[in-house]
C-alpha cells in the first residue's frame, strides 16, 4: 500500500507541476499576446485611471478632467469647447482622440516615456506618470474675436504671428462641443451619430482640414511671382492687358467685377482685384515661375504638421496656358486651407521670410517642469525683401482705398486682400468670401499678426457675398485683439 | 491526553500489531509561530489592499486581524489539547489560505459595492474553524468513523439528491437556498463519500485485489464485493451529471480511481478508470450543450471576441492572469473584476494571478501542494488501512479540486464550476475544507504519535 500511496502522491505532484507550467505559459509566454488583445480593457482602464493633462491657452486650461468613479474613471471636460474644438479636438473614451488631443496624446495621458524622471524608471517601478500639459500658442482674445466674428456662419479663421509662425487663432464654424463625446455613455453615442450625420459637418476643421478655392486672395502669390520674375518692374506702369481677356488657346472671355481694368497698373489691378490683369500676369510668368512661387509659399506640401496634419493646399502644375490663367486668379484647381492663406499674408508681412506655423509652444510635466519647447523654427525666404515691401504697399492700398476698407484699424498699418471665390459647376455653388491681411500696431517695428478668413456664403446672401463685406470685419476684429494685447 | 487506538473501544477491521512506540516530536511551538506568521501575512495583505485603493489603512484591519488571530489560536489550542503530535504544517496552511481568501474577497468587494461577500465569508470561516475544533476535540480516534461508513454514504447521497428539488442557479442544480442563505450540499458529500470509500475499501481490499475471475491481464473482483461501491459511485456521478455539476463528478471519479488503486495496487483499475472517464467525458462533452459550450470555450477562448460579442469569462480570466505577469500588479491594483459574475468564487484565482503575479500564484499552488503532501504523509504514517485511505482520499480531494478549478481558469482543461479550497467565496466549501484539515490532523496525530508502527509493509 505504501508504494501505491507514493505513486498517487507522484500523480498529485504532476498535477501541480502541470498547473505551474501552464501558469507560466499564460502569465509569461503569452502575456504580450493577451495584453495586446483588443478586447482586453486594461489599457483603457489604465489610461483613464488618472486625470489627463491639460491644454493651455494664455496660461489657463481650456480642458479639464472629471472623476466619474466608473471603470474608465476620468472623463475629459472642455471650457469653451466649441470655440477651441478646432485646436483641442476631442478625447473620447469611445471614439478616440483628434487634433491636439491626438497629436499630444502620449504626453497628455502620461504614457510618454519622456515624462518619467529617469529613463526606464517606469519599466522598473511599474509606475504611471501623471499627464503633462500642452501650452499652446493660441491668443485667447483673437480666438474669441474670430469665433464670435464668424457667429452663426460657416467658415474658418487662421491667424499667425509672422515673425515666429506661432498660430494665434484657429477657428472653424459651425463647431461642436467635444465634451459631449468625452464619455462612453449612450448620450455620447447619440451625439456622435448626430454630428456625423449633420450636413454642415461641425466636426470638420475648416481652418486646416478643408481646402477652398482661394479666389482673388491668390493674386498676392501671382503678384509676387510677377515681381520676382521681372514681368512687372513698376507698380504704377500700365500693364498691357485687355478687358475682357481671352484665355490663351480658348474663346473664353474673362471679365472683371470692377471697371477700368484695361491696361491697369499692378497697383490699380490689385486694389480693384482685376481678374484679367492677374490671369494674364500668371500666363506671362509661366507655369514654372508660378509653381515655384506657390510652392515657396507652402502650396503642394502635404507634410505640414502643427503638430496635427494640415491638408495639402494645391497649385496644379500640369496646366495649359488657359488653365494657368485661371489658376493664377485662385480658380481652376488652385485650392488652399485658411491656414495656408494666413501663411501667404504672413510671408508678405514678414518681409519675404516665413516660418512654418506651429501650435504647441511647450510641453510641461505635471509639476510644471519643461519637457520640450518649440524652439526657433527655421525661416525660409519666399521672395526678396524688396518684393515683399512692394506687396506690403499693394496690400495696404487695398485696405486704405480698395476693396478691403472694412479691415482698417485706426492707428495701425493694415494690409489686406479680398477674394470671392466661385465654385461648383458653372459657378452654381454659393461663393466663398475670403480676406487675408496683416497688421502692424502703431508702436510695433514689424507686423504682429497675419490672418486669413473664409466665410461660406449662404443661398440667401448670394449677391452680397464678398471678401470685403463679410470677411474683412472678422479679420479686423482678430487683428485688433492681437494688437490690443 | 488520549492516545490513538486506546480507550475508544472500537473494533477495527484488522488488529493492530503491537509496535515499538517511537513518537515524533510534537512541534507545537513551530505551529504557533507559523500560525502567527500566516495571520500577520493576511493582515499585511488586507492593509495592502486598503493602501492601494484609498491610500489609507482599511478601517477593519485590526478587527480582521484580531478575528483571524483568535480563530487560529483557538484552533491551535484544540490541536495542542487533543492532537499534540499532529503535523505542525496543516493548520497554518489552512489559516493562511483562508486568510488570503478573505483578503481577496474583501478586495473584490471594494469593486462591487452592492455585493459585500467578505463579512459572510468571515462568518462561514468561523463556523469552519468551529467545526475544526469540534472534530479535533470530540473525534478522539479517526477509526470511529469506520463504523459510520454506511451512515456517511446515505447522508452523502441524500445531500447530493436534495438540490434536484431546488431551482437551478446559473445552469447548475447544486444549491439549496433558504431565506437568502445558500449552501452547496455536494461539498459536504465529498468528505462523507471519502469516509465511505476509505472504510469500504479498507474492509474489502483483499477481496478486490485477489478474488474473482481473470480477464486477459485484469483481475476482476467478484460482483458481490465490487457491486456496492460501484453502485454508490455511479449514483453519485449520475446525480451530479443530472445537476450539471461536472467539476464535482470529475472529482468523485478521480477520488474513486485513486482510492481503488491505492487500496488494491492494481494498475489495471487505473487503465479501466481512465478509459471509462475518457469515454464519459467525450460523450458528455459531445451531447450535453452546457458542457459542449465549455469545451468549445476551452478550445477557442477568444472565439466570442472574434465573433464581435466581446470576451467571455474564460478570456477575461486569461487576460487577468496575463496582466499579472511575473510579479503581479500588486494587491488591490488589478482589474480582475472585469470577469464579472463568479469572480469571487470560481474565478478567485484570477485575482490572485493578476495581483500577485506568477510568483504569488506559484506560492499559492505550493501551499496547496504542501497541504496535499502533508496529507499524504499522514496517510503513509497511519497504521490502519482506513486511516491511510482516508488521509489519501481527503488529500486527493484537495489536489484534484485545485487542479480542476485552477486548470479550468487558466485554460489548461475545460472550465468546470468549482470552489478553490479555502480561497473562494462559499460557505459550504470553507466549512468542508476545515473539516478535511481537521480529519487530516486527527490521522496525522495518530500516525505521528506512534511513528514506528506500520500497518503493513
Residue ranges of domains in chain A: 215-360+375-483
| Marked catalytic residue, from A216, A273, A313, A328 | A216
What is this model's ipTM?
Answer: 0.90
Pick among B197, B263, B271, B319 to test the A interface (most A CBs inside 10 A):
B319
| Chain B residue with the nearest C-alpha to that of A42 | B335
Section B41-46 average pLDDT: 93
Provide the b/e sequence for B278-314 (b: ≥16 CB within 10 Å).
Answer: eeebeebbeeeeebeebbebbeebbebbeeeeebbbb
Higher-pLDDT residue of B417 and A27 is: A27
Return the minimum-mean-pLDDT range out of A162-176, A244-258, B187-201: A244-258
In chain B, residues with a C-beta closer than 8 Å to the C-beta of A19 are 365, 402-403, 406-407, 410, 412
Indicate the CATH number of A215-360+375-483 among 3.30.420.40, 3.20.20.370, 3.40.50.300, 3.40.710.10: 3.40.710.10
> What distance in Å separates the CA atoms of residue A364 and residue A134, rounded to the nearest whole number?
6
User: CA-based diameter of chain A, in Å?
Assistant: 121
Return the minimum-mean-pLDDT range out of A117-126, A431-440, B131-140, B142-151: A117-126
Section B129-157 average pLDDT: 92
- State the virtual CA torsion across A179, A180, A186, A191 in degrees, nearest 10: -150
**Residues 284-303, chain B, touching A (beta carbon < 8 A):** 302
In order of A123, A461, B162, B166, B253, the CA distances from B241 in angstroms are 49, 80, 14, 16, 12
Give the closest-approach CA distance of B163 to chain A in angstroms: 31
Sign of the alpha-carbon dihedral angle for B132, B133, B138, B140:
positive
> What distance in Å separates the CA atoms of residue A150 and residue A168, rounded to the nearest whole number?
16
Contact criterion met (CB < 8 Å) for B262 and A19: no
The whole-number pLDDT of residue A467 equals: 74
- In chain B, where the domains are located: 28-452
- H/E stretch holding A380 reads strand A379-381
The pLDDT of residue A197 is above 80: yes
Establish, for the pair of chains A and B, how many residue pairs have beta carbons separated by less than 8 Å: 135
Q: Does B358 touch chain A (CB under 8 A)?
A: yes
The pLDDT of residue B100 is above 50: yes
Contacts of B138 (CB under 8 A, 6+ apart): none
Contact criterion met (CB < 8 Å) for A15 and B399: yes
In chain A, residues with a C-beta closer than 8 Å to the C-beta of B357 are 27
The pLDDT of residue B435 is above 70: yes
Question: Mind listing the pLDDT tens digit for each residue in B306-354?
Answer: 888 888 899 999 999 999 999 998 898 888 888 888 888 889 999 999 9
- H/E stretch holding A460 reads none
Return the minimum-mean-pLDDT range out of A99-103, A138-142, B16-20, B302-306: B16-20
Closest partner residue to A45 (CB to CB) among B305, B335, B396 is B335
Question: Mind listing the pLDDT tens digit for each residue in A365-386?
Answer: 988 889 999 877 888 999 999 9
Pick among B262, B273, B389, B405 to test the A interface (most A CBs inside 10 A):
B262
B4 — pLDDT class (breaks 50, 70, 90): very low
Question: Mind listing the pLDDT tens digit for each residue in B49-69?
Answer: 988 888 888 888 888 889 999
A193 — pLDDT class (breaks 50, 70, 90): very high
Give the closest-approach CA distance of A79 to chain B in angstroms: 30
| Chain A residue with the nearest C-alpha to that of B456 | A1
Give the closest-approach CA distance of B321 to chain A in angstroms: 6
Q: Does B388 touch chain A (CB under 8 A)?
A: yes
Share of chain B above pLDDT 90, in %: 45
- H/E stretch holding A61 reads strand A60-61
Pick among B305, B322, B371 to test the A interface (most A CBs inside 10 A):
B322
Section A70-88 average pLDDT: 92
The whole-number pLDDT of residue B244 equals: 72
Under DSSP, is residue A251 helix (H, G, I), strand (E, B) or coil? Answer: coil
Contact criterion met (CB < 8 Å) for A12 and B372: yes
The whole-number pLDDT of residue B457 equals: 39
Under DSSP, is residue B363 helix (H, G, I), strand (E, B) or coil? Answer: helix
User: What does DSSP assign to residue A336?
Assistant: B
Contact criterion met (CB < 8 Å) for B323 and A26: no
CB atoms closer than 10 angstroms to residue A240: 10
The whole-number pLDDT of residue B212 equals: 62
The pLDDT of residue B16 is above 60: no
Share of chain B above pLDDT 70, in %: 86
Section A264-273 average pLDDT: 90
Give the closest-approach CA distance of B319 to chain A in angstroms: 6
Higher-pLDDT residue of A126 and B306 is: B306
Pick among A4, A33, A35, A46 to test the B interface (most B CBs inside 10 A):
A4
The whole-number pLDDT of residue B310 equals: 82
Give the closest-approach CA distance of B7 to chain A in angstroms: 27
User: What does DSSP assign to residue B172?
Assistant: B
Q: Does B53 touch chain A (CB under 8 A)?
A: no
Residue A428, C-alpha cell as written in the block: 452654381
Sole residue written with cell 474473482:
B212
Contact criterion met (CB < 8 Å) for B325 and A27: yes
Give the residue among A169, A191, A161 at the shortest CA–CA distance from A179.
Answer: A191
* Helix and strand numbers, DSSP H then E, in chain A: 16, 18
Question: Mind listing the pLDDT tens digit for each residue in B397-421?
Answer: 999 999 999 999 999 998 887 889 9
Mark whether A273 is an active-site residue. no
A462 — pLDDT class (breaks 50, 70, 90): low
Contact criterion met (CB < 8 Å) for A16 and B258: no
Contact criterion met (CB < 8 Å) for B380 and A5: yes
Query: Is residue A188 within 8 Å of residue A91, measured between CB atoms?
Result: no
Q: Does B368 touch chain A (CB under 8 A)?
A: yes
The pLDDT of residue B6 is above 50: no
Under DSSP, is residue B230 helix (H, G, I), strand (E, B) or coil? Answer: helix
The whole-number pLDDT of residue A152 equals: 86
Contact criterion met (CB < 8 Å) for B358 and A28: yes
Contact criterion met (CB < 8 Å) for A1 and B302: no
The pLDDT of residue B456 is above 50: no
Amino acid at each position: 500500500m505504501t508504494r501505491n500511496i507514493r505513486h498517487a502522491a507522484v500523480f498529485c505532484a504532476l498535477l501541480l507541476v502541470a498547473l505551474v507550467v501552464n501558469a507560466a505559459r499564460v502569465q509569461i509566454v503569452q502575456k504580450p499576446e493577451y495584453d495586446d488583445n483588443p478586447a482586453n480593457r486594461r489599457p483603457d482602464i489604465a489610461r483613464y485611471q488618472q486625470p489627463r493633462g491639460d491644454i493651455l491657452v494664455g496660461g489657463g486650461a481650456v480642458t479639464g478632467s472629471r472623476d466619474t468613479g466608473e471603470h474608465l474613471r476620468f472623463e475629459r471636460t472642455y471650457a469653451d469647447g466649441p470655440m477651441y474644438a478646432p485646436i483641442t479636438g476631442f478625447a473620447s473614451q469611445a471614439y478616440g482622440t483628434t487634433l491636439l488631443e491626438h497629436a499630444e496624446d502620449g504626453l497628455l495621458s502620461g504614457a510618454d516615456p519622456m515624462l518619467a524622471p529617469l529613463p526606464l524608471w517606469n519599466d522598473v517601478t511599474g509606475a504611471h506618470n501623471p499627464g503633462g500639459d500642452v501650452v499652446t500658442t493660441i491668443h485667447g482674445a483673437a480666438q474669441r474675436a474670430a469665433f464670435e466674428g464668424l457667429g452663426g456662419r460657416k467658415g474658418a479663421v487662421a491667424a499667425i504671428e509672422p515673425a515666429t509662425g506661432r498660430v494665434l487663432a484657429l477657428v472653424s464654424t459651425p463647431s461642436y462641443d467635444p465634451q459631449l463625446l468625452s464619455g462612453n455613455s449612450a448620450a455620447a453615442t447619440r451625439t456622435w451619430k448626430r454630428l456625423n450625420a449633420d450636413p454642415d459637418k461641425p466636426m470638420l476643421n475648416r481652418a486646416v482640414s478643408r481646402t477652398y478655392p482661394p479666389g482673388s486672395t491668390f493674386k498676392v502669390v501671382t503678384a509676387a511671382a510677377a515681381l520676382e520674375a521681372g514681368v512687372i518692374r513698376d507698380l504704377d506702369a500700365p500693364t498691357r492687358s485687355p478687358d475682357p481677356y481671352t484665355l490663351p488657346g480658348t474663346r473664353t472671355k474673362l471679365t472683371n467685377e470692377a471697371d477700368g481694368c484695361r491696361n491697369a497698373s499692378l497697383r490699380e489691378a490689385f486694389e480693384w482685384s482685376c481678374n484679367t490683369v492677374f490671369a494674364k500676369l500668371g500666363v506671362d510668368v509661366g507655369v514654372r515661375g508660378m509653381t515655384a512661387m506657390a510652392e515657396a509659399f507652402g502650396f503642394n506640401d502635404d507634410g505640414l504638421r502643427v503638430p496635427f496634419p494640415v491638408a495639402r493646399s494645391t497649385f496644379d502644375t500640369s496646366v495649359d496656358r488657359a488653365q494657368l490663367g485661371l489658376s493664377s486668379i485662385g480658380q481652376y484647381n488652385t485650392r488652399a486651407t485658411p491656414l495656408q492663406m494666413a501663411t501667404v499674408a504672413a510671408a508678405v508681412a514678414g518681409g519675404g521670410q516665413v516660418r512654418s506655423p506651429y501650435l504647441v509652444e511647450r510641453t510641461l510635466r505635471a509639476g510644471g517642469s519643461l519637457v520640450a519647447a518649440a524652439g526657433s523654427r527655421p525661416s525660409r525666404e519666399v521672395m526678396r525683401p524688396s518684393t515683399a515691401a512692394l506687396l506690403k504697399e499693394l496690400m495696404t492700398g487695398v485696405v486704405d482705398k480698395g476693396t478691403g476698407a472694412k479691415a482698417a484699424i485706426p492707428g495701425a498699418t493694415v494690409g489686406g486682400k479680398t477674394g470671392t471665390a466661385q465654385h461648383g459647376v458653372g459657378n452654381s455653388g454659393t461663393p466663398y468670401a475670403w480676406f487675408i491681411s496683416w497688421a502692424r500696431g502703431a508702436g510695433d517695428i514689424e507686423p504682429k499678426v497675419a490672418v486669413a478668413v473664409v466665410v461660406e456664403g449662404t443661398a440667401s446672401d448670394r449677391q452680397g457675398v464678398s471678401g470685403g463685406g463679410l470677411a474683412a470685419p472678422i479679420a479686423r476684429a482678430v487683428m485688433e485683439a492681437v494688437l490690443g494685447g | 491526553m488520549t492516545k490513538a487506538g486506546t480507550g475508544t473501544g472500537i473494533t477495527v477491521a484488522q488488529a493492530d500489531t503491537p509496535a515499538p512506540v517511537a513518537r515524533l516530536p510534537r512541534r507545537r511551538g513551530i505551529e504557533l509561530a507559523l500560525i502567527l506568521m500566516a495571520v500577520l501575512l493576511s493582515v499585511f495583505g488586507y492593509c495592502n489592499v486598503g493602501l492601494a485603493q484609498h491610500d489609507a489603512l482599511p478601517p477593519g484591519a485590526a478587527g480582521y486581524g484580531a478575528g483571524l488571530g483568535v480563530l487560529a489560536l483557538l484552533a491551535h489550542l484544540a490541536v495542542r489539547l487533543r492532537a499534540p503530535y499532529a503535523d505542525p504544517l496543516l493548520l497554518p496552511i489552512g489559516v493562511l489560505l483562508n486568510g488570503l481568501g478573505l483578503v481577496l474577497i474583501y478586495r473584490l468587494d471594494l469593486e462591487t459595492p452592492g455585493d459585500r461577500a467578505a463579512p459572510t465569508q468571515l462568518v462561514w470561516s468561523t463556523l469552519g474553524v468551529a467545526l475544526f475544533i469540534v472534530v479535533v476535540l470530540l473525534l478522539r480516534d479517526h477509526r470511529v468513523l469506520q463504523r459510520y461508513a454506511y451512515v456517511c454514504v446515505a447522508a452523502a447521497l441524500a445531500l447530493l439528491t436534495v438540490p434536484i428539488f431546488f431551482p437551478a442557479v446559473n445552469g447548475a442544480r447544486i444549491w439549496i437556498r433558504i431565506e437568502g442563505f445558500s449552501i452547496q450540499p455536494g461539498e459536504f458529500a465529498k468528505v462523507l463519500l471519502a469516509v465511505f470509500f476509505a472504510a469500504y475499501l479498507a474492509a474489502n481490499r483483499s477481496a478486490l485485489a485477489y478474488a474473482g475471475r481473470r480477464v486477459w491481464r485484469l483481475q476482476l473482483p467478484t460482483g458481490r464485493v465490487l457491486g456496492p461501491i460501484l453502485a454508490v459511485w455511479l449514483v453519485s456521478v449520475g446525480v451530479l451529471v443530472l445537476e450539471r455539476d461536472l467539476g464535482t463528478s470529475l472529482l468523485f471519479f478521480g477520488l474513486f480511481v485513486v482510492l481503488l488503486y491505492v487500496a488494491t495496487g492494481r494498475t489495471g483499475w487505473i487503465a479501466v478508470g481512465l478509459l471509462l472517464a475518457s469515454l464519459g467525458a467525450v460523450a458528455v462533452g459531445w451531447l450535453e450543450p452546457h458542457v459542449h459550450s465549455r469545451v468549445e470555450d476551452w478550445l477557442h477562448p477568444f472565439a466570442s471576441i472574434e465573433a464581435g460579442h466581446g470576451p467571455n469569462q474564460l478570456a477575461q480570466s486569461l487576460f487577468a492572469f496575463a496582466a499579472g505577469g511575473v510579479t503581479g500588479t500588486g494587491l488591490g491594483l488589478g482589474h480582475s473584476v472585469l470577469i464579472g459574475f463568479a469572480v469571487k468564487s470560481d474565478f478567485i484565482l484570477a485575482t490572485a494571478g493578476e495581483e500577485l503575479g506568477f510568483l504569488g500564484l506559484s506560492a499559492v499552488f505550493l501551499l496547496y501542494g504542501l497541504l496535499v503532501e502533508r496529507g499524504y504523509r499522514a496517510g503513509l504514517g497511519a497504521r490502519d488501512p482506513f486511516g491511510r485511505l482516508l488521509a489519501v482520499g481527503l488529500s486527493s480531494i484537495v489536489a484534484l479540486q485545485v487542479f480542476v478549478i485552477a486548470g479550468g481558469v487558466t485554460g489548461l482543461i475545460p472550465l468546470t464550476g468549482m470552489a478553490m479550497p479555502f480561497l473562494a467565496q462559499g460557505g459550504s466549501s470553507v466549512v468542508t475544507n476545515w473539516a478535511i484539515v481537521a480529519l487530516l490532523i486527527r490521522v496525522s496525530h495518530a500516525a505521528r504519535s506512534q511513528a514506528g508502527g506500520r500497518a503493513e509493509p
